[in-house]
Amino acid sequence: MENIELAYLSGTEQLRLFAARSISPVEVLQAQISRAEVLEPKVNAFSHLRDTGFEERKITALLTKFVDAGRRSAPWKPTSGRVPGRPQDGADGNRIKRWLLPSDHKFFATEVDATLVEIRYMLQAMSMAGFPSIAGKELLDSWSWLNNGHRVNQGDYLDPIQLVPIGFRDVFENPRQVTSGHIYPLDRGGKHVPDNTFLTLAISNNLQGNNTVEELLNMMWAIVNRHQSEGDWKPPRPA
């Protein structure tokens, strides 16, 4: 079976072929990495952004953000290497490829998962409102499985917490408006894998904190109900 075929197998089909000893897990992982490497330069290039007048420096800044959030860990040392005793931050330059960390480290991810997460972020960005139209999306559409089954359609991607559209041009001008999030936080045992990752507005990430998304929604629902029962808050009328 060709690598490209292996990379497109469903989980059910993989298990069937594993049981029949027709393929090995190693072969599938190698195929997925190869598949990522085939697509990634095309996504990373964002050539259509350059063609439509977007500034090269800002394209690079946005792509760096996706690399840092996908394949590279957050700063992982306990204290700053620049100012003794202070918490570390991005300026310390102590990010590392996630698969080079110990497997029990909260930032650890396999090379396959970390690469796929990075591509997932790019697909989500391409689905934000205002992203320039893309011609010839067949290759991108073949990755819809990594985008919750959705094809890359401008305006389809919503902030997972507030369920509001995210404007790509706003993000392009100020990448700090969005951040990477996890449905189950890494501090709580969540893993850095595609199904647990998303791009979210920074304010939504602050709201989530170290809660799971479900915990946050339940907490917000309880707060609204308590205020309604006290009679000091009413839902706003539709415009």
pLDDT in tens, 24-83: 656 666 666 665 555 554 554 466 787 788 888 898 888 888 888 998 887 656 565 666
Q: pLDDT tens, 174-218? A: 999 999 999 999 999 999 999 999 999 999 999 999 999 999 999
DSSP-based three-state secondary structure for 83: coil
Query: What is the rounded average pLDDT of the residues 96-103?
Result: 90
pLDDT > 90: percent of the chain? 36
Contact 44, 59 (CB under 8 A): no
C-beta pairs of 156-160 under 8 Å, 24+ apart in sequence? 156/127, 157/124, 157/125, 157/127, 157/128, 157/129, 157/199, 159/200, 159/201, 159/204, 160/198, 160/200, 160/204, 160/213
For residue 4, the model assigns a pLDDT of: 45
What pTM did the predictor assign?
Answer: 0.76
Top pLDDT among 234 and 186 is at 186
Top pLDDT among 2 and 177 is at 177
